[in-house]
Amino acid sequence: MLNNRQLFLLNTAQTSTSPRLIEIEKAEGLYLYGPNGERYMDLVSGFAVSNIGHRHPKVIAAIQDQLNRFLHVTVYGEFVQAPQVALATKLLSLLPDSLDNIYLVNSGAEATEGAMKVAKKFTGRNAFVAATKAYHGSTQGALSLMGDEKFKTPYAPLLPHVSYLEFNNEEQLNLITKETAAIVLEAVQGEAGVHVPDIHYMQAVRKRCDETGALLILDEIQTGLGRTGKLFAFEHYGIVPDILLTAKGLGGGMPIGAFIANREIMGVIKENPILGHITTFGGHPISCAAALASLQTILDDDLMKDVPEKHQLFKQELQHPLIREVRGIGLMLALQLDNFAQVEQVSKYCATHGVMIDWFLHNETAMRIAPPLIITEEEIKEACRIIKEGLDKLLAFSD
């Protein structure tokens, strides 16, 4: 009889030729557990999803309560569903007044797609500006915004009229013109290896959009829900986007995303034609219940308060001759090494010693660290000790 790993390789579509093949049987808090008692610290939070840890009791309770009420009943936007209303009301109450209307979807990529449609309809324009080394999702519209041709060429043709600028390069903002529907930027570039923009740059982007009538779409799919020490990273920059994208950490482990704007912008999908954007499972009641519980936990437990101190502790502990730089903001960090071989070997060492780290889509020479916000100081020190052990092994081998 074939085991689960063999069946996984045989029956499920593969996204690479070298999956990690680590089998998970259970997850709780910071930890993942294998079928033979293996325990791993999850230092990537399921890729910025499990901000409050895996299977938080309040999220589980909210899911169980909603299970006893109803599951899917109809396509999004037709029936009044209490979990959707409660989540929207709470989230909007925490945002600036100009972000007062939310469309709930299933994922970050779907949020990107919806925002792009709204921007084109609202402005009457069809051109976009995006950043090189950006990542906004893998669907065809979102993929069109990725400024890395090797990921796009096999799927051409994609959307036309997309221009690319270098992230954090103010001199290139003249690419935003009166023909531009929107510029789509990550609030912190994630897959490029965690690059935090200058505050002045983000304010200059906002100003240029105001001058040209282009919309500013900020992708906070990875950065949102406390990861940077603020509920959303734009709060660090003293600006407000026209459209805000969120997903990943929003759902407390359940699939959900959203694009958020003001009522005037969002109103364009109601008519000419009606049903300008539709989704069957967007705003699923179970996901909305989980998301509200997760959001309330972040607030009630004040999980953002200690993020800056935990950031500094990681930087303090991760001093090593092979680490060229520790970049990032809050609990969104990159450890810059020299090459992919180093990253791969250290990642394997860490996995076999109970720590899960990873690398980045557009930066294979850096290691990703983005643990749940609930990680303790003791756990940070232990994780860093194991990472440095892996680096020591590399250093000894090279000598």
- Given 300, 334, 360, the domain boundary residue is 300
Q: Which of 300, 318, 349 is the last residue of a domain?
A: 300
DSSP string for 130-187: EEBT----SSHHHHHT-B-HHHHGGG-S--SSEEEE-TT-GGGGGG--TTEEEEEEES
Domain encompassing residue 394: 4-55+303-398
Q: Do 84 and 15 share a structural domain?
A: no
CA 249 to chain centre: 7
Q: In CATH, what number is assigned to the domain containing residue 160?
A: 3.40.640.10
Task: Please count the structural domains in the chain.
Answer: 2
Main-chain dihedrals φ then ψ at residue 139, nearest 5 degrees: -70, 165
Q: Which of 266, 300, 334 lies at the terminal end of a domain, its last residue? A: 300
Q: How big is the chain by its Cα radius of gyration, in Å?
A: 21
Do both 273 and 335 map to the same domain? no
Note the pLDDT of residue 399.
Answer: 60
Q: Are residues 202 and 338 in the same domain?
A: no
pTM over 0.85: yes
What is 235-266 written as a DSSP string? GGTT---SEEEE-GGGGTTS--EEEEE-HHHH
Q: Are residues 100 and 212 in the same domain?
A: yes
In a shared domain, residues 131 and 208: yes
Mind listing the pLDDT tens digit of every residue in the chain (399 residues)? 999 988 888 898 898 888 888 999 999 999 999 999 999 999 999 999 999 999 999 999 999 999 999 999 999 999 999 999 999 999 999 999 999 999 999 999 999 999 999 999 999 999 999 999 999 999 999 999 998 888 999 999 999 999 999 999 999 999 999 999 999 999 999 999 999 999 999 999 999 999 999 999 999 999 999 999 999 999 999 999 999 999 999 999 999 999 999 999 999 999 999 999 999 999 999 999 999 999 999 999 999 999 999 999 999 999 999 999 999 999 999 999 999 999 999 999 999 999 999 999 999 999 999 999 999 999 999 999 999 999 999 988 766
Q: How many CB atoms lie within 10 A of CB 289?
A: 27
Is the domain of 24 the same as that of 169? no
